[in-house]
Structure 1
Amino acid sequence: MAKTSARLLALLSLLQTRRDWSGTALAGRLDVSLRTVRRDVDRLRELGYPIAAAKGPEGGYRLGAGTDLPPLLFDDDQAVALTVALQIAATTRGSGLAESAERALNTIRQVMPARLRHRVTALDVTAVDGSPAQPAEPVGGDALLTISAAVHAREVLRFDYGSGGTPAARRAEPHHVITRGGRWYLVAWDLDRDDWRTFRVERMALRTPHGPRFTPRALPGGDVATFVTGAFRGSGDATGDWPCRGTVILDLPAAVVARHTRDGLVEPIATDRCRLTLGSWSWPGLAAAFARYDADIEVVGPGELTEAFADLARRLSRAAAGRVATRAPAGGE
């Protein structure tokens, strides 16, 4: 049987996991008698925890909410999850919670046991704006802690990387752990490709031990959010902007267009017209993005966008006629 103090912590942890517990269920989980459960519940009440009891052969228990509730207790996994959540809130732009989340994070770290505080201190996660991605395999707290520790210690990571087939062995200098669109990524300098790369964490099978220490390189643009945004948009520079950006006038009210535009600038011109500026990874992609609005379009610029609309019109015309473009064979005239 576990010692009384350890058993009380286990009981309190169970009471926090769901609304109601029967006495028999608690006794089974703790491997003690119903009488011991009743005594332990009384001890927790003496410590200030409002535990309500229900009458019956087995009895039932519920941890209530109260203004005098002592600090809640967390196991290691919960502490890691809470730290990650607070870091995301602290780095999310425009959330209005950054300062409060940072203060809460400092408070949580102060009350953690030393063994866990040392690991969690190295955990550094940055939230980057991005559209929700397709569901991915879950990422465990141990993986995030291990990668973050390597970032903090400036140690080369060795891992196998891939989602199918034979994973490729990789070596990289880790710089930032980020979350974007519901997925986890590592921003790192790939030693084998001699370039910056963004790795999906759920595809990384970490190897131990880590490699040698390294001197951090300057991240292009100096800001991880800008760099990652540019990487996902296919930008060739460090600005993070789309490589292709253009402006059109739509025969739709600005309020209507704004409801369906997440990453663009909408400017009203008249009650039923507006100017829309968008970006995309290619000019045909940008033309298609504008074409999805059910309205007449007037191109403001640049010229590449006008040419992309003409090319898109030809493709759509052939598709509507059921014809396929004839391509010259490779090497032919």
Structure 2
Amino acid sequence: MDQRNFSRITTIHLLGFQIPQNITFLVFFLFLLIYCLTICGNLLIITLVSYSTTLHSPMYFFLSQLSVLDILLITDILPNTMNTVLVKKTIMLFSDCLTQFFLFIISESSECILLTVMSWDRYLAICKPLHYTLKMNYKVCCILVILCWILSIVVAFIYMLTISKLQFCGPNIMDHFFCDLEPILQLSCSDITAVQFELTILIVIFVVIPFLIIIVSYAYIISTIFKIPSITGRQKMFSTCSSHLTVVCIYYGTLICVYLIPNKRQTRAMTKLVSLLYTVITPMINPLIYSLRNKELKKAGRKCIQNCLFNMF
């Protein structure tokens, strides 16, 4: 038997990004700025949707839930990443690594499902407007969001149960900036063939199939929009969908690059860069995309600022 099986690893050496010493603080403060902007931007959307009566609709309710997930995701990933930037190599308990991965799976799978729900919401609003208020009421919205969380937690537990069956004996060096699936599996000295097959099935169910549902939904949406005789009407319909479609393209594009393209075609630096896009950059730009391209959000934001200034003076 392989002698490594007798020494189960308990700590992880997370290498993070290999950054030259002279720009370490610059990169740290850049990540800190991104974190602050992400938290503030998403909290602003949650606040506007909660307190502005004009935004009490299913679309904005789902958008506020997306902001909650973005806050969870970046808080799970970025603080530890900033630490690796400063100290070059972070030592963390293996249990903490698995906890980070558990929260990562919850936020990622929830976002996949929620983006699919949001595309269905847009499909009903544009293609089935007469049935929209009946099929997409407040109770249905709450049930859909609760299902998103339940399914994502179930998926996360399945991942953790599968990983718990493996033996991890090192080396305990992880060349990544957070505990992702592939780097964790590389620490295992067990046969991971069956595990990879099982996890691939889960990726297909919770990433590929939702993405295909979104594509089909938007095919019907675009077809319906082109049937609208008025140019103004078509532009208004496109404006309500363009923000969501932009977020979907960025989010799923990076996920596909990381999890579905064979790793042999990617360098480790490229994998880190693409992972950075959907774990750090996407949560930051989501509020910007929705706020800059949405007149109702901008109007609610201006009204909120005016009320705050009025109360102050």
TM > 0.5:
no
Question: TM-score under structure 2 normalisation?
Answer: 0.23
Larger fraction in helix? 2
Question: TM-score under structure 1 normalisation?
Answer: 0.22
Greater relative CO (CA pairs within 8 A, separation 6+):
2
